[in-house]
Structure 1
Amino acid sequence: MKPAPPVTSTRPSIVGRIWTPAILTALAAAATALLGGCGDGSDAAKKPRRAAEPADSPPLHAQPAGTTAKIGNQPEGLVFDSAAGLLAVGLREPDRLAFVEPRSLATRREVALPAAARHLAYSPAEAAVVVPAESANEVLAVSPGAGILSRLAVGRHPHDAAVLGATTFVADEHSDQVSVLRKRALDATLPAPHQPGGIAIAGPYVVLVAVSARVLRVYDAGGLRVLGTARAGVGPSHVVADGTLAYVADTQGDAIRVFRIGVRPREVAEAPLPGTPYGLAVDRRRHRLWVTLTAGNRLAEYATSPAGALRRIAGYPTVRQPNSVEVEPRSGAVLVAGRTSPGEIERIVPSGAAR
């Protein structure tokens, strides 16, 4: 058998070619594009992308559905202090924490903060509000009676916090880590995808949304280890959880995404929701999910289900720039903060809630 003839080409050989700067630049750009299109989904393979932010809400076109009251400037971040029976509200200019009576919406006390917070959490073990003071790189424990109980240095720009028992997990947005606080001390740090944002507790797990990496990451809350990661839509911002179901506001994708949380987190449902969904609150007792729509000054009410499916029940007009929402646990009334100057708080009593 004769050997096959050699394969020849009519294209000029690269050997001896003159590699001008223009050619080298073009080849480098082509290689970058190929690598970007064939990425393996890892954090390192992706360039940082713009984090999801709320829409700039238009002027009101409808009367807010609930009762409203003026409060300090730019209220953002709401949580109930169950020991005091008050709503904690983050304020700016000056930076402080207000404690508000949830029915009358009257401010009972204000506590000065070293920096503003965008999210708040509550620690039953300490009977205190957990305040991630972003530009101070600190997390504070605050009560209406005693003021600031503790101040702990964490990573850069602590954005959100979640509490499980005596342990607090803090999403350090500009350090790409989760700080773990125990006994009023920094106990450990966990790696996070680029720009960690919202964080929540889902049963024995910690759920984190990385707003630039566009992923959801799950940690073992007891063992303090990474378990799994899943894509979280076009541009996620917030996350809340009920049991092992987590609800993610895909702010840039105009949707709510539902994940079953475990060693391998997976998306189990999606509810399209135009209007730049942003703030989230879950009512575990009444099986409701509340979502603020910042592009239209609206609040959406969903019924939740064990399988993860969402059913939209109603919508309500809100105060302008509704960035934050919280549920009053006992009554089921819903509180919305409009981040304007001066700001407003709105109390909505949905059907079936106690007045």
Structure 2
Amino acid sequence: MAVALPVAGALLLSACSSQTGKGDDALQIVANPVAATAVQSPAPAAPPAGTVLPAGNVTAMAADPADGVLAVAVGQPPAVLLYQLGDPGAAPVRVSVPGVVEQLSFGGGRLLAPSAGHVTSISVTGQKSDLAVPGQPAGAIADGGKTLVAVRDRKSVDVYQDGKFVKSITGGLYSADAVVRSGNQTVVLDRLRTAVFLVDVDGGTIGQGLRAGEGATNAVADSYGRVLVTDTRAGALLAFSTDPFLLRQMYPVPGGVYGIAYDAPRHLAWVTLTARNEVVGFDVRGGEPVEKYRFPAVRQPNSVTVDGQTGTVYVGSATGEGIQVIQP
């Protein structure tokens, strides 16, 4: 039986930003780190559960129950598709974007889609505006009146206010791949360094860093002041508390764990297993995750999101085999 390891005190490594590039850097695993990516999926062993809607190769997903919108980013050519959660089979609104979108997030009634030197802000009806962000913006979130952007190649979290650049926060990062807001704390995920760092947005500094397994890929906040991270290389679901900043759980999840979404009303973390073409739902209220659901998924299920109002789960195929709709 799989169990979560007690890691609140042991197995933790932290590093100040001043350690970057030094041989004694406790967060650096190898001399020339390579970011983890999704495990390649085999041919499906079972038909996907639920229903499947046709779509191109899905690169990111997000749901906004308040406005009843499902956002799906696709490539070839890059675009964001806006579906109605109440009628996902209806034709979506298509919004073109400058480049491939890896992450989508809703906030303040708008959708943020970072790609190719821009963060595109999209209304729920499809109107858009582009914010120019130098470099490779990988993730973006709304934080009150601010927009926080993780810029991968510049190793920074950029802060914008009302569409105007405020500052660039750097230090100790090898790459900035996602930014997550948990309670009153901001955390940035560094895939290359496979670590998570606190970010002092007001002070403009990168704070304490913690190792996030052997190959962290994606992150999401839960309802308990934690950040949940998928460790694709080691096959684990990690849970970090943010106050204090500690690794609390490291739960084995074999099968190429990659995509992650959180259903707050039901306390469920949904993760995709690309090596098995599966999607699994874990109850994360207790001392360790408890598996509640497991479904066969579309091939290469790199993306997942959930409608917190109904509990409906949406899984996207990165090989163009559609958008899977599951009602657990």
Q: Which residue of the other structure, out of 118, 132, 143, is the alignment partner of 2:114?
A: 132
For residue 222 of structure 1, report the CA deviation from its aligned partner: 4.3
User: Which residue of 2 is the match for residue 349 of structure 1?
Assistant: 327
**Counterpart residue identity of residue 149, structure 2:** V
Residue 108 (str. 1) matches residue 92 (str. 2): yes
- 1:188-238 Cα shifts (integer Å, max 9, x gaps): 111151122232111111111111111110113444433311111100011
Q: Distance in 1 between matches of 2:327 and 2:121?
A: 30
Please show how residues 1-355 of structure 1 align to structure 2 within 5 Å.
39-41=24-26, 47-71=31-55, 73-82=56-65, 84-106=67-89, 107-124=91-108, 127-133=109-115, 136-148=116-128, 150-191=129-170, 193-242=173-222, 243-262=224-243, 265-305=245-285, 309-341=288-320, 343-350=321-328
Give the number of equivalent residue pairs: 305
Q: Distance in 1 between matches of 2:174 and 2:30?
A: 9
For residue 105 of structure 1, report the CA deviation from its aligned partner: 2.4
Q: Distance in 2 between matches of 1:237 and 1:94?
A: 24
What secondary structure sits across from 1:331 in the alignment?
A: coil
For residue 247 of structure 1, report the CA deviation from its aligned partner: 0.6
Q: Aligned residues: percent identity?
A: 28
* Structure 1 residues 308 and 151, CA gap change in structure 2 (3 angstroms): farther
Higher relative contact order (CA 8 A, sep 6+): 2
For residue 38 of structure 1, report the CA deviation from its aligned partner: 5.9
For residue 63 of structure 1, report the CA deviation from its aligned partner: 1.4
Q: Distance in 1 between matches of 2:299 and 2:279?
A: 11
User: Which residue of 2 is the match for residue 20 of structure 1?
Assistant: none
Q: Where in structure 1 do 4 or more consecutive aligned residues deviate above 4 Å? A: none
* Structure 1 residues 171 and 308, CA gap change in structure 2 (3 angstroms): farther
* Alpha carbons 1:48, 1:194 under 8 Å: kept: no
How much is the aligned-residue C-alpha RMSD, in angstroms? Answer: 2.1
Q: Distance in 1 between matches of 2:169 and 2:147?
A: 13
* Structure 1 residues 60 and 123, CA gap change in structure 2 (3 angstroms): same
- 1:30-49 Cα shifts (integer Å, max 9, x gaps): xxxxxx99623266x96441
- 1:282-326 Cα shifts (integer Å, max 9, x gaps): 111111100000111101110012x65211222110111101111
Which consecutive unaligned segments of at least 5 residues does structure 1 have?
Answer: 1-35, 351-355
* Alpha carbons 1:46, 1:213 under 8 Å: kept: no
* Alpha carbons 1:205, 1:221 under 8 Å: kept: no
User: Which residue of 1 is the match for residue 12 of structure 2?
Assistant: none
Normalised by the length of structure 1, the TM-score is: 0.81
Q: Distance in 1 between matches of 2:67 and 2:137?
A: 25
* Alpha carbons 2:150, 2:158 under 8 Å: kept: yes
* Alpha carbons 2:54, 2:322 under 8 Å: kept: yes
For residue 76 of structure 1, report the CA deviation from its aligned partner: 1.6
* Alpha carbons 2:68, 2:86 under 8 Å: kept: no
- 1:95-129 Cα shifts (integer Å, max 9, x gaps): 111011235423321011111201101121xx211
**Counterpart residue identity of residue 255, structure 1:** A
**Counterpart residue identity of residue 280, structure 2:** A
For residue 50 of structure 1, report the CA deviation from its aligned partner: 1.1
Q: Distance in 1 between matches of 2:160 and 2:70?
A: 24
